A and B are shown apart, each in its own frame.
Chain A
Amino acid sequence: MLIDTDAMLGRHPARDVGAGTVAEALAGMDRFGISEALVGHTLSWLHDPRTGNQALLELVAGQPRLHPCWVMLPDTCGETGTPAEFVTAALESGVHAVRAYPADHGYDLAGVDAAPMLDAVAGAGLPLLLDAAQITWPQVEAVSAARPHLAIVVGGLGYRVLRQAAGVLARTENVHLGLANLSSHCGLEWLVERFGEQRLIFGTGAPTRDPAEAVTRLLWSELDDGAVAAIGAGNLRSLLRKKARAA
């Protein structure tokens, strides 16, 4: 079973990736044997988080295979409510995880402005999903160290950042890597051998990334079936069980 932790609904302004509808997402998942997905909305990322988060809930209502992932902001301008209001609404709405875009949304993930919202997200047990292009590794480490119970998943690594990522993985326990564009040659096996399979979480980056990449990378890996199952779905389920306990 595969659960995609890194998928998106909505249109994209600069890539030919279709209309981003629920039907397209489900068809893509079927094509690649993906059972469920945590989905965000490009409206939350590329226009307005508050509007996008609400639109996402409407889109995935009645879709048992799609689980909403909201986008957080610092509460400095009150755009998504107080931290307590944000996470309460998220949990009541069935949100499975929270994503942050500090580079595109213009704030420091490790700074004091984002801290109250991150504290609330951690307290709610919601995993924090990040894209490597949006953060620096020292920021990830600082956020991790300040909130040891916050599960962090960094996706979109590419093939050039193992030196940095490995250091952070070695010094933390709550940072995980997503498989979307995890493209270092033999990097998946190297990471599992060094840090354990529990640090890797399946994700595709769809639709801007081709899910064929992550699916092929995982299934034709040199990992045993147990590790593939854990990375494909089990590890995320473990993170989400922590959310349920926290809630």
Chain B
Amino acid sequence: MNPLTSALWERRPQHSLRIVDAHAHAGPYSLFFIPEAGPAAMVRVMDRCGVSHAVLSSHLAIQLDAAAGNAATAEVVGHAPGRFTGYLTVNPWQDPVGEIEKWGADPRFGGVKLHPDLHVYPLTGPRYAPVWEFAQRTGCPVLTHTYDGSPYNDLPMVEEMAVRYPGAVILAGHAGATPLGFDAAIGVAQRRPGVVLEVCGSYNTGADLARMVREVGPRQVVFGSDFPFIDLRMSLGRVLFSDLSDDARAAVLGGTMTDLLQWRDNARRARSSQVTAP
């Protein structure tokens, strides 16, 4: 039993480490009913479990309207700025350059979200080029939906972008999403150090997660839940009970993602050291 599962059995929030949810959303979604899809309930669930922070894109942004949806994401972050960071959603059909210019420097946003399956456009397509150039230049992480066998966001396409933009940090959302996808995702992450596996979804288990960590290391695997698309506790439970060392579990649950969100500070430090260097 680790401190997290002890807290769970006692039905109290965990406070032993900082948990960051690397894959969250907010708001309603037309395909199905989500009770309490707004930020207040999201914070309540986070508090119930002891989750410190979540990085989110609004459902409006990924499902329909990037401009209105990114504004909605910014509003949700504003609801609880210490608890949320936004993903800037880039829809390749809806002015990618304009959205990056509008929100790229806004501190409410700490990453870029791509959903090629929903937008019916390949991850490798030229309309996404402004995203990759931005990510390569700044270190801003890019979370993309992935799904094994998809014509738009299969794992070989993630690898292709990691090769073309070796300085970009790519979070492979759902890590391929299926058991076959997990195998492919592990292979890509082993070959491409800029690829980080994000583990939410409906088909993975704690055993899958432990295998990812064994095979690619804990600094390339991050916890995400997809909440409120899916309840946060489903994915969190898998990590809690998975066969990981304490250090690895801490890295997966929040340490790595906390570091990845520091890209603006890292850039400032780099500029500062250049200025002061003799």
Contact check, A186 vs B45: say whether CB atoms are below 8 A apart.
yes
Does A216 contact B31, Cβ atoms closer than 8 Å? no
B206: chain A residues at CB < 8 Å are 210, 212
Q: Are B231 and A217 in contact (CB under 8 A)?
A: yes
Residues of B within 8 A of A213 (CB): 233-234, 237-238
What residue in chain B is nearest A214 (Cβ atoms)?
B237
Complex contact B49–A220 (CB within 8 A): yes
Q: Is B11 a contact of A225 with CB atoms below 8 Å? A: yes
Q: How far apart are the CA atoms of A213 and B199 in the complex, in Å?
A: 14
Interface string of A155-195 (1 = CB under 8 A from B): 00011111100100000000000000101111111100000
Q: Mark A76-119, 1 if CB is under 8 A from B, else 0.
A: 00000000000000000000000000000000000000000000
> When chains A and B are docked, how far (Å) is the Cα of A187 from the Cα of B228?
10
Asked if B11 and A219 make an inter-chain contact with CB atoms under 8 angstroms apart, the answer reads: yes
Annotate B8-42 by CB proximity to A: 1 below 8 A, 0 otherwise.
11010000000000000000000111111100010
Q: Assess whether A15 is interfacial by the CB under 8 Å rule.
A: yes
Taking CB atoms, residues of chain B closer than 8 Å to A221 are: 48, 233
Minimal beta-carbon separation of B50 from chain A (angstroms)? 9
Rounded to whole Å, the gap between the CB of B215 and the closest CB of chain A is: 14
Taking a contact as CB atoms under 8 Å apart, the answer to whether A212 and B231 are in contact is: no
Shortest distance between the CB of B241 and any CB in chain A (Å): 4
Distance, CA A159 to CA B230, complexed state (A): 6
Contact A185 B37 (CB under 8 A): yes
Contact B31 A160 (CB under 8 A): yes
Asked if B44 lies at the interface with its beta carbon under 8 angstroms from chain A, I say yes
Query: Assuming the A-B contacts A186-B45, A216-B240, are A159 and B231 also in contact, with contact meaning beta carbons closer than 8 angstroms in the complex?
Result: yes
Q: Which residue of B has the minimal Cβ distance to A194?
A: B35
Cross-interface CB contact of A216 among B41, B202, B207, B237, cutoff 8 Å:
B237
Q: How far is the CA of A32 from the CA of B5 in the complex (A)?
A: 10
B57 near A: Cβ within 8 Å? Answer: no
Across the interface, name the chain B residue whose C-beta is closest to A18.
B207
Could you tell me if B238 and A187 are in contact, using CB atoms closer than 8 angstroms?
Answer: no
The distance in angstroms between the C-alpha atoms of A190 and B33, with both chains bound, is 11
Query: Do A183 and B33 contact each other (CB < 8 Å), given the known contacts A16-B179, A210-B206, A212-B206?
Result: no
Minimum CB–CB distance for B194 against chain A, Å: 28
- A215 sits at the interface (CB 8 A): yes
Once the chains are docked, how many angstroms separate the CA of A217 from the CA of B32?
A: 20
Chain B residues proximal to chain A, CB less than 8 Å: 8-9, 11, 31-37, 41, 44-45, 48-49, 179, 202, 204-207, 227-234, 236-238, 240-242
26 A-B pairs whose Cβ atoms sit less than 8 Å apart in the complex? A159-B202, A159-B231, A160-B31, A163-B33, A166-B33, A181-B202, A181-B234, A183-B202, A183-B230, A183-B231, A185-B41, A185-B228, A185-B229, A185-B232, A186-B35, A212-B238, A213-B233, A215-B8, A215-B237, A216-B241, A217-B231, A217-B233, A217-B234, A219-B11, A220-B8, A220-B49
| New A-B pairs, 20, CB < 8 Å, besides A160-B31, A216-B8 | A15-B179, A159-B231, A161-B32, A183-B234, A184-B32, A184-B34, A185-B37, A186-B34, A186-B45, A188-B231, A189-B35, A212-B238, A213-B233, A214-B237, A215-B237, A219-B9, A220-B233, A220-B237, A221-B48, A225-B11
